[in-house]
């Protein structure tokens, strides 16, 4: 009885500490969003006076000033959505296919290929940027989304995560059973492997979408026409305006406008993550 009481007393403080830590982490994550939305409601003059936790009434004014400017905000949103969505879909699909090939097949230099893919992860984007831009120029693909979407097919980080998830959640006996039943390789991959990988694919789609949506470096090197530029480039242009045209209120409202689609995508895909994990727990 004493041991049970001691265990019971020990569980309470641990839960309290866990909840306190979680609440603190949530506060740290959400506080900066609150600051962003509050600043988007303030005028440039109010923002120069310093931070205030109380929202102002210039949200609509900042939005109207942004829309009245010369920046193609809506086309930037469409461009970012096209690049981010295609990158997320292609990256996760082909990375899953590559991980499946490494996981399910035995062939020569299999381990060497896996090691080589991991080595590519260590190469920074900035190292290959000059050669990449020269290649894009020679192929006459400037002001095109192709150089931004196609390279995302080869995503070593996405491949590695999916490979590790597949190693612990995709039994090869299931693949062998599908082959015995006469299922083709593509049919097995699309109808059996992909559904089992939904939680991992949802996670990587979020990461890839956000990474592509926020990407500034490569699009700034490739895209030059205003009607082709993505939102991060337009935000940078807005911030680099001269002193007479600079309006911090417009910058904040532009940032709010750019992160809302990311929040929507995260909320939508997070349901798939939670549902997939719960389904896996019930099956286990």
Q: Do 173 and 99 belong together in one domain?
A: yes
Task: Provide the mean pLDDT of the chain.
Answer: 85
Residue 251 in domain: no
Residue 170 in domain: yes
Q: Do 41 and 77 belong together in one domain?
A: no
Residue 247 in domain: no
Residue 178 in domain: yes
Q: Do 34 and 150 belong together in one domain?
A: no
Q: Do 89 and 228 belong together in one domain?
A: yes
Q: Do 78 and 53 belong together in one domain?
A: no
pTM for this prediction:
0.82
Q: Do 153 and 194 belong together in one domain?
A: yes
Residue 271 in domain: no
For 200-238, the pLDDT digits (tens) are 888 888 889 989 999 999 999 999 998 899 999 999 888
Evaluate if residue 84 carries a pLDDT over 90.
Answer: yes
DSSP 61-97: HHHHHHHHSSS-HHHHHHHHHHHHHHHHHHHHHHHHH
pLDDT of residue 282: 40
pLDDT of residue 124: 81
What is the arithmetic mean of pLDDT over 92-96? 94
Give exposure, 240-253, as e/b (b: 16+ Cβ within 10 Å).
eeeeeeebbbbbbb
Evaluate if residue 273 carries a pLDDT over 80.
Answer: no
As for how many domains the chain has, the answer is 2
Its domain, for residue 7, covers: 2-60
**pLDDT category, 241, cuts 50, 70, 90?**
low
Provide, rounded to the nearest whole percent, the portion of the chain with pLDDT above 70. 89
Q: Do 55 and 149 belong together in one domain?
A: no
């Amino acid at each position: 009885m004493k041991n049970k009481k001691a265990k019971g007393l020990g569980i309470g403080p641990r839960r309290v500490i866990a909840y306190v830590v979680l609440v603190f982490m949530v506060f740290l994550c959400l506080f900066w969003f609150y600051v962003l939305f509050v600043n988007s409601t303030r005028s440039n003059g109010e923002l120069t006076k310093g931070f205030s936790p109380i929202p102002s009434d210039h949200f609509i004014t900042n939005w109207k000033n942004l829309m009245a400017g010369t920046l193609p905000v809506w086309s930037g949103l469409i461009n970012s959505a096209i690049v981010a969505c295609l990158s997320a879909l292609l990256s996760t699909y082909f990375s899953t296919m590559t991980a499946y090939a490494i996981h399910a097949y035995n062939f020569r230099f299999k381990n060497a290929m896996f090691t080589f893919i991991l080595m590519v992860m260590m190469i920074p984007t900035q190292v290959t940027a000059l050669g990449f831009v020269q290649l894009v120029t020679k192929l006459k693909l400037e002001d095109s989304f192709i150089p931004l979407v196609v390279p995302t097919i080869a995503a070593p980080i996405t491949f590695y995560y999916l490979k590790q998830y597949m190693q612990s959640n995709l039994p090869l006996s299931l693949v062998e059973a599908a082959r015995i039943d006469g299922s083709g390789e593509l049919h097995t991959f699309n109808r059996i492997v992909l559904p089992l990988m939904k939680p991992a694919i949802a996670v990587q789609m979020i990461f890839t979408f956000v990474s592509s949506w926020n990407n500034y470096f490569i699009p700034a090197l490739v895209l030059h026409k205003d009607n082709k530029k993505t939102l991060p480039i337009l935000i940078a242009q807005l911030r680099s305006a001269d002193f007479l045209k600079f309006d911090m209120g417009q910058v904040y409202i532009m940032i709010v406008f750019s992160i809302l689609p990311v929040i929507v995508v995260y909320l939508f895909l997070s349901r798939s993550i939670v549902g997939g994990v719960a389904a896996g727990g019930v099956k286990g």
